Amino acid sequence: MIDLATAMPGATPTAQAMNTKEAKRVLETALICATSPLPLADLKALFDDEVGADTLRRLLEELAEDWQGRGVELVTLASGWRFQSRPEMRAYLDRLHPEKPPRYSRAAMETLAIVAYRQPVTRGDIEDIRGVTVSSQIVKQLEERGWIDAIGYREAPGRPALYATTRQFLDDLGLASLDQLPPLEGALDGARGALALAALEAPPLLGDAQVDLPLDAAGETESTPEPAPPCADQNTHSVATDAQA
């Protein structure tokens, strides 16, 4: 166990008096009440920044072990730590919301998968891989959902925008980094990438229970893209949510 009194030399008497059990209780309370993942910087603020990052990580790892075998788990994601329901609990939680919202269209999922696996990419890159014209509405919807963002521009005629996935994308998939995406077998195409994303175990992004933005293929032209002109051109229920439900 970690003794905060020895982990924080020079800390205030109040901080030194706090033992490991109390510190984990503070972390547990903050994480359960949070509506989004909490980064280490926010967790340090709970202790007036008198607990170091390494000590906090060890406390969080202990807290995760404490919750082993329960219906919820403490996980680390791209933007921080959070409590979420375990995949095997999803079948029961879905009974609270039996309505099935619209699913994401194949076009949207293939576009998202190509960005995820080939980032940074331009719309032209996506069209080359999919073999069809990508609707600007699809790209706009993915941006508004917070899953992709323009991170720069390619030095090419028209300076097309380069798209990449965001931390929100990783959080919604329950991932800490892109390295945790399922590996692809063979060359990338839109369909294969979308299947790889769907292979994640009960991911909130693809699950029926948490589709809050229907992405349809309206406006997309399923045809071979025309050459670009010279001046034109890339699991989850939180504890707080479950309690409220």
87-113 burial, b at 16+ Cβ within 10 Å, e below that, comes to bebbeeebeeeeeeeeebbbbbbbbbb
Residue 152: predicted pLDDT = 95
Task: Name the domain boundary from 67, 94, 121.
Answer: 94
Q: Does residue 115 share a domain with residue 222? A: yes
Residue 241 lies in a domain: no
Residues 111 and 227 in one domain: yes
Amino acid, res. 12: T
Bridge partner residues of 22 (DSSP): none
- Distance CA(98)–CA(46), nearest Å, equals 38
Select from 94, 114, 129 the last residue of a domain. Answer: 94
Q: Are residues 83 and 184 in the same domain?
A: no
- The answer to the question of residue 101 being in a domain is no
Q: What is the DSSP letter of 224?
A: P
User: In this structure, are residues 117 and 165 in contact, taking their beta carbons and an 8 Å threshold?
Assistant: no
H/E element, 162:
strand 161-165
66 and 114 part of one domain? no
CA–CA separation, 168 vs 79, rounded Å?
Answer: 8
Whether 115 contacts 148, CB under 8 Å:
yes
Range of the structural domain that residue 11 is part of: 4-94
Domain C-terminal end among 36, 64, 94: 94
Residue 3: predicted pLDDT? 53
Compute the distance between CA of residue 191 and CA of residue 174 in angstroms, rounded to an integer: 22
Cα 138 to its chain centre, rounded Å, is 19
Q: Which long-range contacts (CB under 8 A, 24 or more apart) does 54-58 make?
A: 55/2, 55/4, 55/7, 55/8, 56/27, 58/2
User: Please, are residues 154 and 160 in contact by the beta-carbon 8 Å criterion?
Assistant: yes
pLDDT of amino acid 47: 93
**Model pTM score:** 0.67
Query: Do 115 and 226 have their domain in common?
Result: yes
* Residue 82 included in any domain: yes
What is the rounded average pLDDT for all residues in the chain? 78
- pLDDT tens by residue, 113-165: 999 999 999 999 999 998 889 999 999 999 999 999 999 999 999 899 999 99
Mean pLDDT in residue range 189-215: 61
CB 187 within 8 A of CB 130: no
Same domain, 183 and 122: yes
The CATH number covering residue 187 comes to 1.10.10.10
Structural domains counted in the chain: 2
Q: How many CB atoms lie within 10 A of CB 150?
A: 15
